[in-house]
């Protein structure tokens, strides 16, 4: 029992990442009808926003501290970050410590801008082109973005820690009445899960309860009619693209402490997210979220030692296997809309 709970918990954080990326992909597909292979790159850019902010906070000036000496007896050089100068000792240290959560604020405008530029500059010209061309051009864009990041940040993963308060694990088992140290779960993963839940709920609430969201939903159902009503649907869809980019970017920002970002993390997630979208059903937002969590949890179950002993290698292929089975049995995926890419 405790093992099962542990696996469900383990699946949640990866599932959250899948769900967030898949949600953005589905938003773009559902509104603009574009298959965006560069979405993984947006996730990666988000992650590097966090890295950048953390680096910026650590820009320091060097001061010679006369009171202390190094091992040769010379006066010690001390690096003092400017942030500490400006905000004082404790506040400055806290800001540096909280770089990753603060990067959320930093990433939102950047991601929305990147999304706007992408949509207006490139994707706009591909609405009328076939899906294969959209896949190819965004695939090319993904390569370009990934190489640009590689040029500036190098090829190695860059570890960026979570704030001090969220390091370490807490004992989830004792809360449920199990023995101590049976179910240990890192705090940050829990944070990630709640963060993802809030973002997902936010996107759904935005689409469901605002006038803007209503127009967008109407546009997803029938773009032409909404246009005929005198609503500038293209502009709203552009904003939705920016929003989807922001969702992917935020997923990336918060994922940084879980696994150090490198330039190809986007591609690694992209392939799986596409599988998630297809399993959930093209164009279905709840489907994308459901499939994201489902596949994340399935993946972590498949990596249990008992399961691997029973079916060797299953942990490597489970997601693809599920995708193949679902695609062949349910033409629309789990919750796909009728008439959306059903061929």
Contacts to another protein by CB under 8 A: 35, 122, 125, 129-133, 135-137, 139-144, 147-148, 150-151, 267, 271, 274-275, 278, 282, 312-313, 316-317, 320-321, 323-324, 327-328, 331, 341, 343
Token look-up 């959560």 returns 101
Select 68 or 125, whichever has its Cβ closest to another protein. Answer: 125
Token output for 22: 């898949």
Check if the beta carbon of residue 319 is closer than 8 Å to that of residue 298: yes
Quote the CA–CA distance of 114 and 176 in Å, as a whole number: 44
* Shortest Å, Cβ 122 to another protein: 8
Check if the beta carbon of residue 291 is closer than 8 Å to that of residue 279: yes
Select 95 or 135, whichever has its Cβ closest to another protein. Answer: 135
- How many CA atoms lie within 13 Å of 214's alpha carbon, on the beta-carbon side? 3
Quote the CA–CA distance of 116 and 243 in Å, as a whole number: 9
Select 254 or 276, whichever has its Cβ closest to another protein. Answer: 276
* Shortest Å, Cβ 148 to another protein: 7
Select 134 or 160, whichever has its Cβ closest to another protein. Answer: 134
- Kindly list the distances between the CA atom of residue 292 and the CA atoms of 23, 123, 277, 341, in Å, as whole numbers in the listed order: 9, 25, 8, 20
**H or E element that contains 122:** none
* Shortest Å, Cβ 343 to another protein: 5
Check if the beta carbon of residue 25 is closer than 8 Å to that of residue 269: no
Quote the CA–CA distance of 288 and 20 in Å, as a whole number: 9
Longest CA pairwise span in the chain (Å)? 80
* Shortest Å, Cβ 134 to another protein: 8
* Shortest Å, Cβ 313 to another protein: 3
- Kindly list the distances between the CA atom of residue 86 and the CA atoms of 82, 83, 92, 101, in Å, as whole numbers in the listed order: 6, 5, 7, 20
Select 40 or 163, whichever has its Cβ closest to another protein. Answer: 40
Token output for 58: 């650590």
Select 85 or 133, whichever has its Cβ closest to another protein. Answer: 133
* Shortest Å, Cβ 302 to another protein: 11
* Shortest Å, Cβ 200 to another protein: 23
Select 78 or 144, whichever has its Cβ closest to another protein. Answer: 144
**H or E element that contains 78:** strand 75-81
Quote the CA–CA distance of 156 and 234 in Å, as a whole number: 40
* Shortest Å, Cβ 140 to another protein: 4
Select 153 or 172, whichever has its Cβ closest to another protein. Answer: 153
């Amino acid at each position: 029992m405790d093992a099962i709970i542990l696996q469900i918990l383990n699946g949640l954080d990866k599932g959250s990442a899948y769900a967030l990326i898949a949600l953005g992909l589905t938003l773009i597909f559902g509104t603009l009808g574009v298959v965006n292979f560069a979405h993984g790159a947006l996730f990666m850019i988000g992650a590097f926003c966090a890295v950048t902010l953390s680096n910026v906070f650590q820009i320091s000036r060097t001061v010679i501290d006369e009171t202390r000496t190094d091992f040769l007896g010379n006066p010690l050089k001390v690096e003092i970050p400017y942030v500490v100068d400006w905000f004082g000792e404790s506040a400055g240290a806290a800001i540096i410590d909280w770089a990753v959560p603060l990067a959320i604020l930093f990433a939102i405008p950047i991601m929305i801008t990147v999304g706007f530029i992408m949509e207006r500059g490139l994707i706009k010209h591909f609405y009328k082109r076939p899906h294969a061309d959209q896949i190819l051009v965004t695939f090319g864009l993904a390569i370009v973005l990934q190489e640009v990041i590689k040029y500036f940040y190098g090829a190695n993963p860059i570890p960026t820690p979570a704030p001090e308060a969220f390091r370490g694990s807490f004992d989830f088992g004792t809360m449920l009445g199990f023995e101590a140290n049976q179910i240990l779960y890192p705090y940050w993963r829990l944070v990630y899960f709640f963060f993802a839940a809030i973002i997902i709920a936010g996107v759904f609430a935005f689409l469901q309860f605002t006038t803007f969201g209503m127009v967008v939903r109407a546009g997803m159902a029938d773009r032409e009619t909404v246009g005929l009503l005198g609503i500038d649907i293209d502009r709203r869809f552009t904003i939705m693209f920016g929003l989807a980019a922001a969702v992917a970017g935020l997923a990336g920002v918060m994922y940084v402490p879980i696994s150090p970002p490198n330039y190809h993390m986007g591609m690694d997630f992209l392939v799986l997210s596409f599988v998630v979208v297809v399993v959930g059903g093209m164009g279905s937002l709840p489907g994308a979220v459901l499939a994201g969590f489902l596949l994340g949890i399935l993946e972590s179950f498949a990596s249990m030692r008992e399961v691997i002993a029973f079916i060797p290698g299953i942990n490597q292929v489970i997601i693809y296997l599920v995708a193949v089975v679902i695609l062949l049995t349910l033409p629309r995926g789990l919750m796909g809309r009728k008439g959306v890419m059903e061929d």
